[in-house]
Amino acid sequence: MEHIRVTSKGSISKAIFLILILAAIFIAAVKLIDLDISKFFERLKNVSEVLKRMMAVDFSVVPDTLLNIVTSLALALLALGVAIILALILSFLIASNITPNRSLAIFIKGFFAIIRSVPSLVWGLMVIASLGFGNVSGFVTILIFAVSYLVKTFTGSIEETGGDVIEAMRSTGASWAKIVYHGLLPLCITAFVSWITICFESNVAESIGLGIIGVGGIGLLLTQAISSYDYAQTTTIVIMICLLMIVLELVMTRIKNRIKFGKQ
């Protein structure tokens, strides 16, 4: 009885090889890191205590929180506004299918790749070291994040969908500016709006996260509550952050859908 195989030759051994490599990576990672597992399990005993104490809510901190939410939102919005302007200009200059100068485009793309590979909290540290604490540092840090994100996504959209339109308009003799304004902008605007809404949500998340290193806003408030071991306040602020992000997501989705399917 001759054996009939169900898979092509060699694909089983390839699959096994792959699994072994993946397992090896995982095991290597676990062995190489210093994980203090024993300490962790020791502290687990205290966890139920802490969680019990966190079950309280402190409403007195709500007005402060709301003010700080406005701060965080304002920072996010402002950074978004400036980032949109900068990104629109830059991305149409560096998209490979429409760039007026190839080498400059590559240089700028590389520049932004490096900017993006530095996590924003690290940028935050450096900006605060240079500019001091205050809203300006927060604004600049979020701006760096937002511009690099939008430039990447805008350029991606232009390069993916712009090809045909550019070809067509070039054959009518349109200039760079005209192709951008009359051809690419209307074409990409829905994709851009998607990216912008995602960017705003991310900006708010960043602005909250930056509170850890001292940037004003609700993140800072939370950090302060945590360092003063005020359990009730911490819980309240966390809940409000959660609510804020959920509301934000709902609003952004609505705006996105409105623009996609036409204003009613």
Residues found near another protein in the complex (CB under 8 A)? 1, 4-8, 25-26, 29-30, 32-37, 39-40, 43-44, 46-47, 50-51, 54, 70-71, 74-75, 77-78, 81, 113-114, 116-119, 121-122, 125-126, 129-131, 135-136, 139, 205-206, 208-209, 212-213, 219, 222-223, 226, 234, 238, 241-242, 245-246, 249, 263
Minimum CB distance to another protein smaller for 3 or for 172:
3
Opening angle at CA 216, ends 203 and 219, nearest 5: 65
* Shortest separation between residue 165's beta carbon and another protein, angstroms: 18
CA 103 from centroid of its chain's CA atoms: 28
* Shortest separation between residue 81's beta carbon and another protein, angstroms: 5
Residues 223/226/228/230 CA torsion (nearest 10 deg): 130
Minimum CB distance to another protein smaller for 162 or for 219:
219
Whole-number Å distance between alpha carbons of 120 and 207 = 10
User: Which token pair is 5?
Assistant: 């195989």
* Shortest separation between residue 82's beta carbon and another protein, angstroms: 9
* Shortest separation between residue 37's beta carbon and another protein, angstroms: 7
* Shortest separation between residue 226's beta carbon and another protein, angstroms: 5
Minimum CB distance to another protein smaller for 98 or for 199:
199
Residue 180 DSSP label = I
Whole-number Å distance between alpha carbons of 243 and 222 = 15
User: Residues 171-182, buried b or exposed e (16+ Cβ, 10 A)?
Assistant: eeebeeeebbee
* Shortest separation between residue 158's beta carbon and another protein, angstroms: 20
Residue with tokens 């996260």: 209
Minimum CB distance to another protein smaller for 172 or for 263:
263
Minimum CB distance to another protein smaller for 72 or for 157:
72
Whole-number Å distance between alpha carbons of 48 and 240 = 23
Minimum CB distance to another protein smaller for 100 or for 235:
235
Residue 21 CB-half CA count within 13 A? 6
Minimum CB distance to another protein smaller for 21 or for 104:
21
* Shortest separation between residue 100's beta carbon and another protein, angstroms: 25
Instruction: With CA atoms as reference, report the closest residue to 142 among 90, 192, 81.
Output: 81
User: Which token pair is 113?
Assistant: 């790749």
